Chain A
């Protein structure tokens, strides 16, 4: 048996395809992006080495909107922390407490998660339509004509209009994650709390939430990192417009690379996105570690 498991040729054959795919398509591009980010290059002409100029430009050239894009992502992160996670938690706690139709509600609440963001985005685009959209029609019917507007065409409202469906779509996801984590906690603990006369709210804050801390950590990482990786919903609803008001780093990156043909500058954005994702991951890990000590 031992000899069988040390078969070098078999190990090589088994690992080679996975390693090849992973190294070429996932790992190498990160380094390549790092390299491209030091160049001024339009994809066809000469590659000119410019050092860290692209990075300096990201944070100083306000006409290029990268800082605005970061700020927009930050807003998504903030709303996701303030609304998405708490609502997911609330539903998870209510549903895990044993209400009628528990499975039914879980199933329904999760539906938006599995539907493609493109479909959901198209649908919300129709909800926001200035002339025929549900939202404006509703406002007109209840006499608030003054409030109707082109929600996605107005610089003032576009960000809120884009964030709403992003938040809405994934509440069910966090609910399910919290729910499955609560369900894996031994029921004895909740019974004991009940016997001791703890109210539902006390039970939630003193028992449920501390016990599912690892899942809270996972969800925090997901929602923070996810906010800075947002692409689909913005691409479908506004593609960053009007006049870049709803731009996020990923849409700006795609636009810079494919519309402006600034490969080096776009790659610098890609590198910053990776760095932000890794730092947020480490930050949350560290925060929870400190909390445990």
Chain B
């Protein structure tokens, strides 16, 4: 019996050590985002800051445009999530419930689409956007992000929709609803949990996306956080405090959402993987 509880303790310690390894870089980031160069580079490398230098945040937000990049990310990701949800809601209903010949074919194509890496689309999409004079603006990111988010969102929606009993729709039909009223008034309100699941998945992916953001948008006016930070890191490579502050600000929203909705976020990402 004693040996058993010994082993338990060892396991517990292993888990604690790994937790520290996972969290330490984040702690270190938060600590140096509030330090001066003297502290970071010499006297106090890993401790908490002696003097909390909130000025680093001011420098990052105003001096280095992180505020602007943050707003851009919110606009791009927000529009992508909303647009993807609306488009996929309609399509999932047509694919899952409505009767037409090619529905199976479309579903099969979408499954294949899940495996197409974004990298393959980089140059052709860039040329298309250039032709349409959209390169460099918000739409140059919203359009490709939405397109690549649709297959996964659709699969999550279809999975959810097939679990909703048809009786509700039959009742609505008897009450004289037409197809549009039925979809808007009966189905969409029921789909809220699926929208949340897929939305989180899309949010995390787009918020962190780098390749398209890096190649399609060049101006400070429209840059999102991922590219913004890259630029900032180049500019401030000798003063780490403001970079740290920018990194904290960039990761803050995903971490907040994660802490508030840990279970829901985990569910989204697991579902995303399993469907993929």
Contact = CB atoms under 8 A, between A and B. Distances in A.
Interface of A: 1-2, 4-8, 10-11, 13-15, 17-19, 21-22, 24-30, 32-33, 36, 91, 94-95, 99-101, 105-120, 122-127, 131-132, 134, 137, 172-173, 176-177, 180, 215, 218-219, 222, 225, 229, 231-232, 235-236, 250, 253-254, 257-258, 263, 266-267, 270-271, 273-274, 277-278, 281
Contacts of B204: 114
13 contacts: A6-B98, A6-B99, A29-B121, A30-B120, A33-B120, A115-B254, A122-B243, A123-B29, A132-B41, A215-B274, A225-B115, A273-B120, A277-B115
Contact of B18 (A18, A91, A123, A222): A91
Given A91-B18, A273-B119, A21 B211 contact: no
A125 B251 CA distance: 17
B75 interface: no
Contacts of B113: 22, 26-27
Contacts, number: 246
Contact of B12 (A10, A99, A177, A263): A99
Given A18-B91, A118-B229, A254-B122, A24 B128 contact: yes
A111 B22 contact: yes
B12 A254 contact: no
Interface stretch (B51-59, B172-180, B190-198): B172-180
B255 A111 contact: yes
Interface in B115-143: 115-117, 119-125, 127-128, 143
A26 B148 contact: yes
A105 B19 CA distance: 7
Contact of A14 (B29, B91, B109, B124): B91
B100 A8 contact: yes
A127 B45 CA distance: 11
A116 B116 contact: no
A170 to B, nearest CB: 11
Contact of A180 (B32, B147, B270): B270
B28 interface: yes
Interface in B131-182: 143-144, 146-148, 150-151, 154, 169-170, 173, 178-180, 182
Contacts of A101: 12, 15
Interface string B217-238: 0000000011001100100000
Given A114-B254, A115-B255, 11 more contacts: A29-B123, A33-B121, A95-B15, A111-B258, A114-B258, A115-B251, A126-B240, A231-B210, A231-B211, A270-B120, A274-B120
A116 B255 CA distance: 10
Nearest to A116: B208
Given A14-B91, A18-B91, A33-B124, A119 B119 contact: no
Contacts of B226: 116, 118
B132 to A, nearest CB: 11
A112 B119 CA distance: 23
Contacts of A131: 41
Contacts of A5: 97-99, 179
A163 to B, nearest CB: 16
Interface residues of B, number: 89
A235 B274 CA distance: 28
A266 B170 contact: no
The 9 closest A-B pairs by CB, nearest first: A25-B147, A29-B124, A116-B208, A18-B91, A29-B121, A14-B94, A32-B124, A14-B90, A21-B147
A11 B258 CA distance: 37
A22 B109 CA distance: 10
Interface of B: 8, 11-12, 14-15, 18-19, 22-23, 25-26, 28-29, 32, 40-41, 45-46, 87-88, 90-91, 93-95, 97-100, 106, 109-110, 113, 115-117, 119-125, 127-128, 143-144, 146-148, 150-151, 154, 169-170, 173, 178-180, 182-183, 204, 207-208, 210-211, 214-215, 225-226, 229-230, 233, 240, 243, 247, 250-251, 254-255, 258, 262, 265-266, 269-270, 273-274, 276
A224 B208 CA distance: 21
Question: Looking at A101, A126, A132, which has the most chain B CB atoms within 10 Å of its CB?
Answer: A126
B258 A250 contact: no
A36 B123 contact: yes
Contact of A218 (B95, B183, B240, B273): B273
B23 A108 contact: yes
Contact of B173 (A4, A25, A26, A278): A4
Contacts of A123: 25, 28-29, 247
A22 B144 CA distance: 9
B119 A270 contact: yes
B180 A10 contact: yes
Contacts of A8: 100
Contact of A21 (B146, B233, B240): B146
Nearest to B25: A123
A267 B265 contact: no
A100 to B, nearest CB: 6
A152 B225 CA distance: 24
A25 B142 CA distance: 12
